[in-house]
């Protein structure tokens, strides 16, 4: 039998812990780095097209991979259980 006058027990633990937030910040930094590397490619003359600058390996391969890695870090940070 339970006592009706007894207050419900409250769990003061938060959903995420410090380690989760550290991983989340790391993921955001990696995503921001990927976005920064993907930006640019603007030429001084709008009538001129610089194919090497627009289709560089950094913008086509490395930056999207960094963004995907950053998203994977975010997923890991959300599902990681605290110790």
Question: What span, in angstroms and rounded, lies between the C-alpha atoms of 35 and 27?
Answer: 12
pTM of the model: 0.77
pLDDT at 49: 82
Question: Mean pLDDT in the chain?
Answer: 86
- Of the pLDDT bands very low, low, confident and very high (cuts 50, 70, 90), residue 3 is low
Which residues does 78 contact at the CB level (< 8 Å), separation at least 6?
A: 16, 20, 24
- Mean pLDDT for 44-70 is 89
């Amino acid at each position: 039998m339970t006592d009706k006058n007894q207050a419900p027990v409250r769990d003061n633990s938060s959903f995420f812990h410090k380690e989760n937030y550290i991983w989340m910040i790391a993921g955001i930094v990696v995503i921001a780095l990927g976005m920064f590397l993907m930006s640019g490619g603007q030429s001084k003359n709008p009538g001129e097209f610089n194919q090497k600058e627009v289709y560089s390996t950094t913008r086509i391969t490395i930056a999207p991979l960094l963004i995907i890695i950053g998203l994977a870090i975010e997923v890991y940070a959300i599902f990681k259980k605290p110790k």
